[in-house]
Each structure stands twice: as structure tokens, then as C-alpha cells.
Amino acid sequence: MTERAGERPELIEKVIKVTRVAKVVKGGRRFSFSALVVVGDGRSRVGYGLGKANEVTEAIRKGIEKATKNMKPVAIEGRTIAHRVDGYFGASRVVIKPCPPGSGIIASGTVRAIMEACGIHDISVKSLGSQNPHNLIKATLNTLYRIRTFEDIAARRGVPVERLRNPIPA
């Protein structure tokens, strides 16, 4: 995973995986490349893209373009998220939990890149099942997009927001 400085300095671009693909034809093998890229603005918007081309740099550029178009907002509360959430895609499962300030990002490399691009600083993520980067990215992003803020939850329950932010000690 590398970070690229692109045309838009406000976007955080992370290359997750570059794969060489061989196609066997009459004269031999033809090689092409695919690049899996995550793009975020560091302020709660993130997306991913898969670019394919005959050169690595062109595949990364196409992936960044697709990821930028696919960016969606994530509900962030300060430096973390509001509540624990589980999600899956295919055989990959993720469990995402909020952490107290100063904990940092506790996650695998693929998920860490998503959290850094999104702007989440204190979080714990456990990935279960398949570690395939494609499925892991989709599981993580689908889970992050489902998170709601304290205000949304309080309005739905009909309770004050302070009661959710400062729970009563047991």
C-alpha cells in the first residue's frame, strides 16, 4: 500500500493492491494490470475503485478516477464512530468498534488504509473469514456506510442526545 500525490492535494489516495494478469494468446502471453485503490478526503468521505490497463500507472489512475466518483459519506463522531457494527461481503466479515481517544487504528493493512483515508483515528476492526482485499474493502465500506450518528439514533428513539453520549454507569 502506497500513498500517491495526485492532482487533488486534498484527497488521500491509497493503492491497496496491484495485480498482473496474463492472457495466453497465439503469439504468447499478454500482460495487463489491475489496481485496487481507496480514495478519501480525510473528513468522512471515502470510496474505492478498480482500474485495469496495460500499464501500472494507467491502472492506478483509472482506479483513482473510479474511487473519486464512488465516494460516499461516513458518520463520524469526533475521531471515532458512534456504535459497534458488524458487516460482511462474500466470505469476508468485519467487526468495527469505537475506541477511546488515543487508541489509534487497530486493523489489518487493507482496513487501515480505508480508515486513514476516511479520517477515522481511534477504532478497532477485526476482520474474519476471507482476507481477499476486494471482498474485505467491500465489507468494510458497506459496514461504514450503515453507521448512524448519535443525533439519528436519539431522534428515532425519542431520547435526548446527551443520554446516548454519556450513558448511565451500571
Question: Domain check: are 55 and 80 in the same one?
Answer: no
Q: Is residue 89 part of a domain?
A: yes
Q: Is residue 167 part of a domain?
A: no
Position 96 scores a pLDDT of: 95
Question: Domain check: are 102 and 136 in the same one?
Answer: yes
Residue numbers of the domain that contains 45? 2-72
Q: Is residue 164 part of a domain?
A: no
Q: How far apart are CA 165 and CA 110, in angstroms?
A: 30
CATH number at residue 64: 3.30.160.20
Question: Which grid cell sits at 26?
Answer: 497465439
Position 5 scores a pLDDT of: 52
Question: Domain check: are 81 and 59 in the same one?
Answer: no
Domain count, the chain: 2
- The pTM of this model reads 0.85
Q: Is residue 91 part of a domain?
A: yes
Instruction: Give the pLDDT of the chain (170 residues) as one tens digit per residue.
Output: 555 554 455 899 999 999 999 999 998 999 999 999 999 999 989 999 999 999 999 999 999 999 999 999 999 988 899 889 999 999 999 999 999 999 999 999 899 999 999 999 999 999 999 999 999 999 999 999 999 988 888 899 898 888 877 766 65
Question: Domain check: are 101 and 147 in the same one?
Answer: yes
Question: Domain check: are 80 and 124 in the same one?
Answer: yes
**Sign of the dihedral defined by the CA atoms of residues 36, 41, 43, 47, in that order:** negative
Q: Is residue 90 part of a domain?
A: yes
